[in-house]
Amino acid sequence: MSHHHKKNHHEKQDEGKKMAEDGKVEDAAASQNGGKVEVPAQEYEALKKKVEELEGLREKFLLAAADFENAKKRNARDKEDFIKFSQERILRELIPVLDNFERAVGHATTASASATSYEALLQNLKTLLSGVERVQKQFTDALKLHGLKRVETAGQMFNPHFHEVVAHVPEEGPEDQIVDELEPGYTLHDRLLRAAKVRVRVSPQPQTPASEEKQEEIT
């Protein structure tokens, strides 16, 4: 091997040793830094900005969650108050009806106690009846204002959506027509609250010859 080739060979060996030693130095430095690798300043600032953005989003989420919980509790309280005081308006309007009813009863009681004859007592009863009728009308009018309506029955044909049959009356006339009302029914804004209990007309059964003979024997 020539002197020139030997020189190049030694130079390459020395360069390899130097690179190996530099690698060991870098590994040692990384080991001394706890395995941390230096990050460029620009990349570090970008990461720091992302962390700050995430922290801001986290705070907004926590605030939104707290607002939602507060709104849910507030809605629950409002719903409870609505149910509790939903009848306040109608009850406020019924208080004068109660006042007039008490006045009518009180007046009749006082007048009856001071009546000295049958005629006076009868007049007091008529006055009481008239007062009660006025109170009844006032009460009915107050309920009408809130959508309560009495189911019509007089002269009406039976309607299963509003009437409940409690008896059938066999007689001449239109079949399924209401004969009389046993208990009134009511609707609230056209929704049925209670069906009216009625008696309904049905066609009378024709008498057989045998039943006619029995009828003659009875008469």
Q: Token pair 């009848």 is at which residue?
A: 87
**Spatial separation of the C-alpha atoms in residues 168 and 153, rounded to whole Å:** 15
pLDDT for the residue numbered 28: 46
174 and 133 part of one domain: no
175 and 125 part of one domain: no
132 and 171 part of one domain: no
Strands (E), 8-97: none
135 and 169 part of one domain: no
* CA end-to-end span of the chain: 161
Strands 148-150 and 186-188: antiparallel
Phi first, then psi: what are they for 205, rounded to 5°?
-70, 130
Give the mean pLDDT of 18-23: 51
177 and 190 part of one domain: yes
134 and 165 part of one domain: no
Query: Residue 124 falls within a domain, yes or no?
Result: yes
Q: Mention every residue, 6+ apart, whose C-beta is less than 8 A from residue 196.
A: 151, 153, 162, 163, 164, 181, 183, 184, 185
Query: Residue 99 falls within a domain, yes or no?
Result: yes
Residue 192 structure tokens: 């049925």
The structural domain count of the chain equals: 2
Query: Residue 183 falls within a domain, yes or no?
Result: yes
Q: Mention every residue, 6+ apart, whose C-beta is less than 8 A from residue 207.
A: 215
Q: Give the tens place of pLDDT for each residue, 149-184.
A: 999 998 899 999 999 999 999 998 899 999 999 999
Strands 178-183 and 196-202: antiparallel
**Spatial separation of the C-alpha atoms in residues 157 and 171, rounded to whole Å:** 15
**DSSP state at residue 152:** P
CA dihedral of 137, 141, 142, 144, whole degrees rounded to 10: 140
**Spatial separation of the C-alpha atoms in residues 103 and 5, rounded to whole Å:** 135
Mark which of 145, 162, 185 sits at the end of a domain. 145
Q: H-helix or E-strand containing 187? A: strand 186-188
Query: Residue 160 falls within a domain, yes or no?
Result: yes
Residue 107 structure tokens: 């007046």
154 and 136 part of one domain: no
Q: The CATH number of the domain where 196 resides is what?
A: 2.30.22.10
**Spatial separation of the C-alpha atoms in residues 177 and 199, rounded to whole Å:** 9
| Domain span holding position 113 | 89-145
158 and 129 part of one domain: no
Query: Residue 20 falls within a domain, yes or no?
Result: no
96 and 120 part of one domain: yes
Q: Give the tens place of pLDDT for each residue, 196-211.
A: 999 999 988 876 655 5
CA 188 and chain centroid, separation: 17
Residue 163 structure tokens: 């009437």
Query: Residue 133 falls within a domain, yes or no?
Result: yes
Mark which of 103, 130, 145 sits at the end of a domain. 145
* pLDDT at 43 exceeding the cut of 50: yes
Query: Residue 196 falls within a domain, yes or no?
Result: yes
Q: Give the tens place of pLDDT for each residue, 105-146.
A: 887 777 767 767 788 778 878 888 888 888 889 999 988 888
Q: Give the tens place of pLDDT for each residue, 69-107.
A: 999 998 888 888 787 777 788 888 888 888 888 888 887
202 and 154 part of one domain: yes
pLDDT band at 25 (very low <50, low <70, confident <90, very high): very low
Query: Residue 2 falls within a domain, yes or no?
Result: no
202 and 183 part of one domain: yes
CA distances from 77 to 42, 50, 84 (A): 53, 41, 10
Mark which of 109, 124, 145 sits at the end of a domain. 145
